[in-house]
A and B are shown apart, each in its own frame.
Chain A
Amino acid sequence: MNDEIADRVKNLLDEEVTATSGATASRLHRMRSEALARRNRGPVWISWTGAGAAAAGVAAVTLYFNLMAPEPLPVIYEDPIQQAAASEMELMDDLDFVAWLVLQEGDNTDASDQT
């Protein structure tokens, strides 16, 4: 008897499925298409993994070039303009000294002549 009841139950539920409304069928069809479109796109983790791998690659390359870059050379020469100005000042000091020396020598010569 259980089999007969089960058959009756199955028939009743099958009839319900057959009588599914157009709106419901349409929504189910849309859901099915969306699910299949996901398969074509591939799982989300693949795109995230790709993006993660690309970001890690960029970071690794940046780090590599930072580590491998030569250290900056020590500053040996100062600014050439400053250097020129400094030597000019020394030259000016020397000229002053030379002029003073000439004057001194001139004074000494005059004094010895008078004596």
Chain B
Amino acid sequence: MQLVESLNLYTEPERETTQAAVHDRNEDLDRFLASVEKQAFRTAVISTRNEDDAFDIVQDAMIKLVEKYAHKPEAEWRPLFFTILHSRITDYHRRRTLTSKLFSWLGPEEDEQVGDWGESLDGPIEKLLEALTIDRLQTAIDSLSPRQQQVFLLRTWQGFSVAETAKILKCSEGSIKTHLARAMSAVMQSINLDDEHE
């Protein structure tokens, strides 16, 4: 449609109708992006731990959605947007991994996340929930692998189903379930460990 617009192939009434449709679409897109941008930014900050990188990731996701998928039905924008966002986050971690491998000879390697995913929980659930503050949650999320973080945020926060999360992250549903179980265990474990230290 944009090619047709740029070539001026519309008659005047068609042009007015098209411009009105584009204007409406832009308003819909604006409303949609406004509804997800802060959540997307917070997701990117959690995943990258760097605000500037998070801004870049969110901006890329916005631009790609607007340029490539604006014509799609509005109901598809949310999963598409989060697919793009998490794809950018995955790319970010791939680049970081590559960079850290290239420069690993400069210093000792970082300790890999070792999953000790114990399910033991002490105390009633109310106590645990009360103990779970944003700082503890952030620490717990930081201890997860990038993929576990993505699964955890998509499932618990962004409200996507297992099937949708699998589609967004381009992996199997079984893998999503495994990642989520490990992430939840890590979060609960971290609350328990914190309680033990207090």
* Chain A interface residues toward B at CB < 8 A: 1-2, 4-6, 8-10, 12-17, 20, 24-25, 27-29, 31-32, 34-36, 38-40, 42-43, 46, 50
Size of interface on B: residues with Cβ below 8 Å to A: 42
Contact yes or no, A28 B132, CB < 8 A: no
One of B34, B38, B66 near A17 (C-beta < 8 A): B38
- Contact across chains for A28 and B3 when beta carbons are under 8 A apart: no
Tell me whether A5 and B26 are in contact in the complex, defined as CB-CB below 8 angstroms, given that A12-B137, A25-B38, A32-B34 are known contacts.
no
Contact yes or no, B187 A46, CB < 8 A: no
* Interface majority SS (helix, strand, loop, mixed), chain A: helix
Contact partners of B63 in chain A: CB under 8 A: 34-35, 38
**B129/A5 in contact, CB under 8 A:** yes
What residues make up the interface of B, taking CB atoms closer than 8 Å to A?
Answer: 2-3, 5-6, 22, 26, 29-30, 33-34, 37-39, 41-42, 51, 55, 58-59, 62-63, 65-67, 70, 121, 125, 128-129, 132-134, 137, 152-153, 155-157, 159, 184, 187-188
Residues on B with C-beta less than 8 A from A34 are 59, 63
In the bound complex, do residue A4 and residue B129 qualify as a contact, i.e. CB atoms below 8 Å apart?
yes
Residue of B37, B42, B59, B66 touching A36 (CB-CB under 8 A): B66
Q: How far is the CB of B182 from chain A (nearest CB, A)?
A: 12
Smallest Cβ distance from B48 to chain A, in angstroms?
14
A46 CA / B33 CA spacing, docked (Å): 25
Contact B42 A13 (CB under 8 A): yes
Which residues of B have CB within 8 Å of A12?
132-134, 137
Provided the pairs A8-B132, A17-B42, A20-B41 are in contact, do residues A31 and B2 lie with their beta carbons within 8 angstroms?
A: no
- Residues of B contacting A14 in the complex (Cβ-Cβ under 8 angstroms): 157
Cβ B129 vs Cβ A32 within 8 A:
no
- Across the interface, do A39 and B26 meet the contact criterion of CB distance under 8 Å? yes
> Besides the contacts A13-B137, A20-B38, A28-B55, what 11 more A-B pairs have beta carbons closer than 8 Å?
A2-B184, A5-B132, A5-B187, A6-B184, A31-B62, A32-B62, A35-B65, A35-B66, A36-B33, A38-B63, A43-B67
